[in-house]
Amino acid sequence: MKTKKMLIFLMLSLTVSAMIFQGCKKDDDPVDMTLATLLAGTIDLNGATSPNTVPVEPTIVATFSADVDPATATTANVKLLQNYNNTDIEVVLTVSGKTITVKPKTVLGTGTLYKLSFTGAILSTDAKPLTAFERTFTTIGTFAPAGVVAHWTFEDNANDVAGSFNPLANGVVAVSYTASRNAAAGKAATFNGTTSIIEIPNGDQLINTKNLTLSFWVKAVDQGKGHFVIGLGAFYGLQFEMFGGLDGAKFAIRYEMADGTTETEDMWFPSEATYNANGGWQGWDFAKSISQPDMVAMLKEKWLHVTYTYNGDAKKGTLYYNGEKMKSFDFNLWPDDAPKKTAKGIKYAGQMPDVQNELAFGFIQSRAGSMWAGETWGGYTFPEANHFKGQLDDVRFFHKVLTDNEIQLMYNSEKP
């Protein structure tokens, strides 16, 4: 009887010990780390719907169920991917207790989809792995690649929303701000065709570069004369003009040669354009031929997205309308003795009193320059000169060459 009681006591003791052991194991053993919250400021990146209003300079904070081992929170284990071209965006990571803060090293593109991923190689301080996850978000606004140097949106003013290229107090004349091509675009700068002008100081800083992209929206009203839409010292820097019949347009841009001298070259795009394979100049390597009526239909009182790129390494300039390549040249195709075969970039070469280094919207140069001052077609004081009449919106400068895909995406995102 005594032995039986001892056996029963031993069995009860073992059962209690097991229960105590299991209870301790449940309470004390660490479990896998999981995501608790993921925020870009106050924007929830961990919700059921991918947000589309994330700032282009976000501070993203991930909070977890356990303290994070800082040694495992590396850029190999936390990735920010730009979706449209599968580019990894460099980030800075900061660990504090249960949080990892993620900050991109560069300003992100607007209206762009990104994917943020955390791998299972991230560990807690108890050496338990994170349950890996991915989340997506889109930055605020319409699509534009990262790296914009200046951007004018003309939302009731002519200030540069990306940088510091703002007009002086007296640098805006007879410009109004009216509804743009769609609701998302807000307002556009509207020019009266006789006196309207916007002048931006230090415009040479915008074009003194090896690589350039200039992009803008323009809507020209037929006025029986040409339109000087944008000018920076005319051909001493950069100009974009539309022909009087709105059956073509051109850029005139100053390029720097290897020896430091500069020369002007026109990106001339009339109707029925030609290139070196169908009778055109040997340096033109592509031209889309558009009939005169179709060209007028494209340019006359219609919103047109214009993009020009110059690649200093390739020595190549390309013009796009509405996201589509229209014409291109290659300085490598110039005659062997042509200085332009050595062109290395774009360079402003204007000097006072002829022209001032001010970017002008609505005319070929700023009012400070005296060049053509006495010409009825080119002097600012003449109402009958080729003042621009129409609207201008979303002017952007980049010191890099946007790809065909980026230009097409930008047009698709912003088109009427």
pLDDT tens across 134-188, in order?
999 999 999 999 999 999 999 999 999 999 999 999 999 999 999 999 999 999 9
Q: Residue 198: which residues within 8 A CB-CB, separation 6 or more?
A: 158, 167, 171, 172, 173, 175, 189, 360, 361, 362
Give 321-360 pLDDT, tens digit per residue. Answer: 999 999 999 999 999 999 999 999 999 999 999 999 999 9
- Domain limits, CATH 2.60.40.1220, in the chain: 35-138
Decide: 279 and 195 in contact? Cβ < 8 Å.
no
Is it the case that residue 12 has pLDDT exceeding 90? no
Q: Taking the CB of residue 95, how many other CB atoms lie within 10 A of it?
A: 16
CATH of domain 148-414: 2.60.120.200
The residue among 150, 345, 159, 137 whose CA lies nearest residue 257 is 345
What Å distances lie between residue 85 and 18, 77, 247, 299, CA to CA?
A: 57, 20, 36, 31
Specify the 3-state DSSP secondary structure of 273: coil
- The CA distance from 412 to 269, in Å, is 23
Helix (H) or strand (E) holding 297: helix 292-299
Q: Taking the CB of residue 313, how many other CB atoms lie within 10 A of it?
A: 10
In this prediction, residue 26 has a pLDDT band, given cuts at 50, 70 and 90, of: very low
At 30 the pLDDT is: 62
- Domain limits, CATH 2.60.120.200, in the chain: 148-414
In this prediction, residue 35 has a pLDDT band, given cuts at 50, 70 and 90, of: very high
What Å distances lie between residue 115 and 44, 136, 334, CA to CA?
A: 14, 4, 44
What Å distances lie between residue 26 and 17, 29, 35, 64, 367, CA to CA?
A: 14, 6, 21, 20, 80
- The CA distance from 158 to 173, in Å, is 11
Domain 35-138: which CATH number of 2.40.50.100, 2.20.25.240, 2.60.40.1220, 3.40.50.1110: 2.60.40.1220
C-alpha of 286 from chain center: 25
Is it the case that residue 295 has pLDDT exceeding 70? yes
The Cα angle at residue 252 between residues 309 and 157, in degrees rounded to 5: 75
In this prediction, residue 25 has a pLDDT band, given cuts at 50, 70 and 90, of: very low
What Å distances lie between residue 99 and 69, 71, 74, 128, 264, CA to CA?
A: 10, 13, 13, 15, 56
Q: Taking the CB of residue 5, how many other CB atoms lie within 10 A of it?
A: 9
Q: What are phi and psi of 285, to 5 degrees?
A: -105, 0
* Cis before 353? omega within 30: yes
Q: What is the CA radius of gyration of the chain?
A: 30
The Cα angle at residue 124 between residues 118 and 128, in degrees rounded to 5: 95
- The CA distance from 358 to 204, in Å, is 7
Give 357-403 pLDDT, tens digit per residue. Answer: 999 999 999 999 999 999 999 999 999 999 999 999 999 999 999 99
